[in-house]
Amino acid sequence: MKKLTLVAAAAAVVLTGVGAGAAFGAAAPPLIERTKLFGNPSRSQGRISPDGQWLSWLAPRDGVMNVWVAPAADPSKARPLTAEKTRPIRSYFWAPDSKSILFINDKGGDENFLLYGVDVTSGALKTLTPFEKTRVQMMGASRHITDRVIVGLNNRDPRWHDVYSLDLKTGGLTLILKNDGFGGFDIDENLKVRSAYKARPDGGVDVYDVDGSTIAATPSESIPFEDAETTTSIGYTTDGKTRYWIDSRGRDTAAVIGEDMATHKKTVLAQDPRADVEGLMADPKTGRIQAYAVNYLKTEWTVTDTAIGGDMAFLRSKLKGEIAITSRTDADDRWTVAVDPVSAPSATYLYDRKAKTLTKLFTTRPELEGAPLAPMYPVEIKTRDGLTEVSYLTLPPGSDADGDGKPDKPVPMVLLVHGGPWARDSYGYNGLHQWLANRGYAVLSVNYRASTGFGKKYLAAGNLQWGLKMHDDLLDAVGWAVKSGVTTPDKVAIMGGSYGGYATLAGLTFTPTTFACGVDIVGPSNLNTLLEAIPAYWESGRTQMYLRMGDPRTPDGQAVLKAASPLFKADAIQRPLLIGQGANDPRVNKREAEQVVAAMKAKGIPVTYVLFPDEGHGFARPQNNIAFYAASEQFLARCLGGQAEPFGSALSGSSITVPEGAPLVPGLAEALAAAGAK
């Protein structure tokens, strides 16, 4: 591939290529089509109804993901239950009485989610929360009170969710508690509100007992700021006598705590010094915890109840990969079980506990069976100040002949940064990893400081460190990859969404020669304007965000935020940048993209800006994902020299617009013209 130099008035942006074959040990593997990786899965989210009579899953109907149901006795008689035409259904759940399926959806990515119910027998659809500019919250459901659920609605005050009982048959809403200042509530198995959580000015949280619609005047529990992100009540046993907590108070990593509600004595039930407890299995009849999961390098389940010990051992003996129990009947006689082999598409099974039989229901993406998918390697990387970053590396197929997790010779690499930042990357099948590895790149995902799941100290190590130590962690990961022979310093791109998009902008502005190029997806560029525009329903977490990022209410805080904002260093950008944005994003307003694009244009620095008018914080419609990743891989191929699938019909059905810089991505302008897009 030729070297291309784009010279502007204030900066020279250089794109180089190494040749598609350079990343692979021998011949490059066949390209996996984008549609197989990012198009609709054949089926996903398989579940069994509480009464055991029905199986359900998500699958395409006229090209849009919808809910399907089938008799549990005969899955071949599946039929579509919903008929969404534009916006895919991304999650759903069974009503407790098994008579209907509930799901939420928004419009164009605005995150004003409404709740819908659809009758399993008739297919009749009902909008259960028919309000504009309202975001519903599911707050509680019961295994034995099956005709109603508890929901939260912020249609009275967008900051706070009032608590309602929702009659599933009639759709009637009955106000239980008017909320003026509480960020969350605990609901027990009798659908009673037991506790209310209120943020304090110091960033901590107070927990108040609730009796009916009356909230106690003084708190029964106090959670300090340093524990507020890692401590919460997670539910009650069916009899209401025990409350469970995920709790980091008095320790670093969050443990499972059982609280006797009569004496308020607390007992540690599960803990791990490496990572927070983050997954639980509970008996559907009693609500008592039966197993817990800790996710350090990989997810590890520990069984605490012998009643399911044999079942878990049986599943581990029969299924190879990461196992998850996705639903259980009320009788607890059948489970749906998902298994993720990581380097093969996941599959879902129906498990009969009594017969000890597994029946395969479906493979999520059968079109990937036999495709050259790559393994993922967990690695531990030391930061310059001695912290340990749990990270995940995927290598191009054929680049690691001895399978030791290091390529035979250095290859181009994409540093793929997770969002949040209060979230984490995990081990498992990852479509972005597989796509990038197939194109010839090593892919490294890093749990930099501020990532969740590794204890409160690791989380707090990121406080006020946007663009500082959090960015150093990413640089240290790149340094590790270079030192380990994974890549070379001149062949590393940075890419990510949300905070990962911010990290991309920070990488190209704060360290302008470290990365060969960057792909920013819905990333903020100006932290002061980001915090000005956060959704109203984030009000209860506002102070915590300020304490972790910088407080815009004070001059010092504004200065911290400005110093960490890539926008004000946009004139330092020397390397190619591709930006993707949803026009309706309520979290990272499109102004964040437009500000940095305008700043670069003012300095004569080239940039490509891709905007989707029907998307929000990330891209939900597969047509839009396919279109954006088509542009991204051409961009990366020009920058790093990997393989790229031609655009073909990649923009068909997408709402893609490119307000700026289409000619900078090979083939994009022509593909837009062919698709009739702008």
pLDDT in tens, 160-207: 999 999 999 999 999 999 999 999 999 999 999 999 999 999 999 999
* Residue 130 · residue 116 · CB < 8 Å: no
For 355-380, what is the mean pLDDT? 97
Identify which of 675, 637, 639 has the alpha carbon closest to the alpha carbon of residue 656: 675
Coil, helix or strand at residue 409: coil
pLDDT band for position 582 (cuts 50, 70, 90): very high
Question: Residue 366 gets which letter from DSSP?
Answer: G
**Residue 617 is a catalytic residue:** yes
Confidence band (pLDDT; 50, 70, 90) for 28? confident
pLDDT per position as a tens digit, 273-295: 999 999 999 999 999 999 999 99
Mean pLDDT, residues 491-495: 98
- For 384-436, the pLDDT digits (tens) are 999 999 999 999 999 999 999 999 999 999 999 999 999 999 999 999 999 99
Rounded to 5 degrees, what are φ and ψ at 522?
Answer: 45, 45
Cα separations (Å) of 428 from 4, 36, 117, 323, 410? 37, 18, 32, 10, 24
Residue environment code for 274-296, b if the CB has 16+ CB neighbours within 10 A, otherwise e = bbbbbebbbbbeebbbbbbbbbb
The answer to whether residue 6 scores a pLDDT higher than 80 is: no
Strand-pair category, 221-223 with 242-247: unpaired
Q: What's the pTM value of the predicted model, to 2 decimals?
A: 0.94
pLDDT tens column, 433-483: 999 999 999 999 999 999 999 999 999 999 999 999 999 999 999 999 999
Residue 19 confidence (pLDDT): 41
Strands (E), 421-471: 442-446
Place of tokens 């990510």: 496
CB 616 within 8 A of CB 111: yes
**Strand 266-270 with 657-660, pairing:** unpaired
For the sheet with 64-71, list strands across it: 44-48, 54-61, 64-71, 79-80
Tokens matching residue 192: 């009673």
Each residue's pLDDT tens digit, 300-328: 999 999 999 999 999 999 999 999 999 99
Q: Which helix (H) or strand (E) holds 506?
A: helix 499-510
Strands 125-127 and 114-119: antiparallel
Mean pLDDT of the chain: 95
Could you give the CA distance from residue 598 to residue 594 in angstroms, rounded to a whole number?
6
Residue 424: CB partners within 8 Å, gap ≥ 6? 295, 418, 447, 451, 452, 453, 454
Higher pLDDT, 1 or 613: 613
Q: Please, what is the angle between helix 668-675 and helix 622-640, to 10°?
A: 160
- For the question of residue 498 being annotated catalytic, the response is yes
Kindly tell me if the per-residue pLDDT of 124 is higher than 70: yes
All structural domains of the chain = 4-37+369-526+565-675 (3.40.50.1820)
Q: Are 210 and 220 in contact (CB under 8 A)?
A: no
Tokens (6 digits) for 662: 């289409």
Q: Name the band, by pLDDT with cuts 50, 70 and 90, for residue 25.
A: low
Per annotation, catalytic residue among 161, 418, 471, 617: 617
Q: Give the tens place of pLDDT for each residue, 622-635.
A: 999 999 999 999 99
Rounded to a whole number of angstroms, the CA Rg of the chain reads 25
Q: Which three-class secondary structure state does DSSP give residue 494?
A: strand
The pLDDT value recorded for residue 24 is: 60
Query: CA-CA distance, 476 to 449, in Å (whole number)?
Result: 12
- In our burial notation (b when 16+ CB lie closer than 10 A, e otherwise), range 66-93 reads bbbbbebeebeebeebbebeebbbeebb
Q: Specify whether the CB–CB gap between 126 and 147 falls below 8 A.
A: no
Q: Which of 596, 278, 169, 628 is nearest to 432 (CA)?
A: 628
From 498, 540, 565, 632, the catalytic residue: 498
CB under 8 Å to 246, separation ≥6 — which residues? 230, 231, 232, 234, 254, 255, 256, 257, 276, 277, 278
Q: Would residue 585 show up in a list of annotated catalytic residues for this protein?
A: yes
Q: Which of 644, 453, 488, 473 is nearest to 32 (CA)?
A: 644
pLDDT band at 23 (very low <50, low <70, confident <90, very high): low
Asked if residues 651 and 627 have their Cβ atoms less than 8 Å apart, the reply is yes
| Model pLDDT, residue 190 | 96
> What's the half-sphere exposure (Cβ side, CA atoms, 13 Å) at 636?
34
What is the CB-side half-sphere exposure of residue 255 using CA atoms within 13 A? 15
CA–CA separation, 33 and 648 (whole Å): 11
- 103's CB contacts (< 8 A; 6+ apart) are 67, 82, 89, 91, 92, 93, 115, 116, 118
Return the pLDDT at 1: 31
Helices 622-640, 431-438: axis angle to 10 degrees equals 40
Does the pLDDT of residue 17 top 50, yes or no?
no
Cβ atoms of 600 and 5 closer than 8 Å: no
d(CA 523, CA 581): 8
Pair of tokens at residue 281: 């299995």
Name the burial class of residue 53, with classes exposed (0-12), middle (13-18) and buried (19+) by CB atoms within 10 angstroms of its CB: middle
| 8 Å CB contact between 617 and 111 | yes
Q: From the candidates 311, 400, 551, 585, which is the catalytic residue?
A: 585
Give me the long-range contacts of 302-306 (CB less than 8 A, separation at least 24).
Answer: 302/270, 304/269, 304/270
The arithmetic mean of pLDDT across residues 124-131, rounded, is 96
Q: How far apart (Å, rounded) are the C-alpha atoms in residues 281 and 308?
A: 10
CA distance 643 to 399: 14
User: Do residues 427 and 297 lie in contact, with contact meaning Cβ atoms separated by under 8 Å?
Assistant: yes
Q: Are 269 and 257 in contact (CB under 8 A)?
A: yes
